Amino acid sequence: MGCGRVGATLAQSLESRGHSVAVIDQNPDAFRRLDAGFGGNRVTGLGFDRETLLQAGVEDAFAFAAVSDGDNSNILAARVARETFGVDNVVARIYDPHRAEIYQRLGIPTVATVRWTADQVLRRMLPMGATHEYRDASGRVVIAQIDVHPAWIGTPIPRIEDLVGARVAFLTRFGDGMLPSAETVLQEHDLVHVLAAVEDVPRIERLLTHAPRHKED
């Protein structure tokens, strides 16, 4: 739901991966953002309206994304898709970060646009720190990208996990994601993504953004 820049890009990305896509927007002019070759269904209407959703094929949908410019509309549409039509995989874009946390705890996965953008800007202004990249529905478990002090370079990943008491979910190396093995050693320019309880992130951040106290046994 929503054929703004995000919705149009999302729809075309999904179609390019071989998925059947329907796009809902109450403004028919919004569909002009779609490429001329887009083969998906264009449905004019409100994304939380039952008849509109049925016309878009919600009964057969694997996933539903509400990415209009209205928080209330996005949450309502996501809840209707899940609770009325049984779509398991739903996500709603929310501008208000406080409301996003509330809905996240209610089991509606959200993307807090403002908070995400602010985090990305802060990361480029103040590179030492942590940025939450994923939060589970309960809000208790996160994957966070954490900047690492240069003194950690050359340390095996299992050793890092042991010293900071956290699991390294994956690394980004030269732009590619990789799952670390027992032999993986941290290299310069690696991005470290840690899986942790949300309350542990500040402690892990303090450890990784400073030189390790005991690098060797």
pLDDT digit string, tens, across residues 146-203: 989 999 999 999 999 999 999 999 999 988 899 999 999 999 989 999 999 989 999 9
In the three-class reduction of DSSP (H, G, I as helix; E, B as strand; rest coil), residue 208 is classed as helix
Mean predicted confidence (pLDDT) in 71-86: 93
Q: What is the pLDDT of residue 115?
A: 66
Residue the block writes with tokens 């310069």: 188
Q: Is 181 exposed, middle or buried (0-12, 13-18, 19+ CB in 10 A)?
A: exposed
Per DSSP, the chain holds a count of helices (H) and strands (E) of 7, 10
Q: Is 2 exposed, middle or buried (0-12, 13-18, 19+ CB in 10 A)?
A: buried
| Threshold 0.75, pTM exceeds | no
* HEC sequence for 127-177: CCCEEEEEECCCCCEEEEEECCCHHHCCCEHHHHHHHHCCEEEEEEECCEE
User: Computed over its alpha carbons, how large is the radius of gyration of the chain?
Assistant: 21
Give the integer Cα–Cα distance in Å for 110 and 113.
Answer: 9
Q: What is the pLDDT of residue 99?
A: 79
137 in Cβ contact with 104 (< 8 Å): yes
pLDDT band at 98 (very low <50, low <70, confident <90, very high): confident
pLDDT of residue 217 exceeding 90, the answer is no
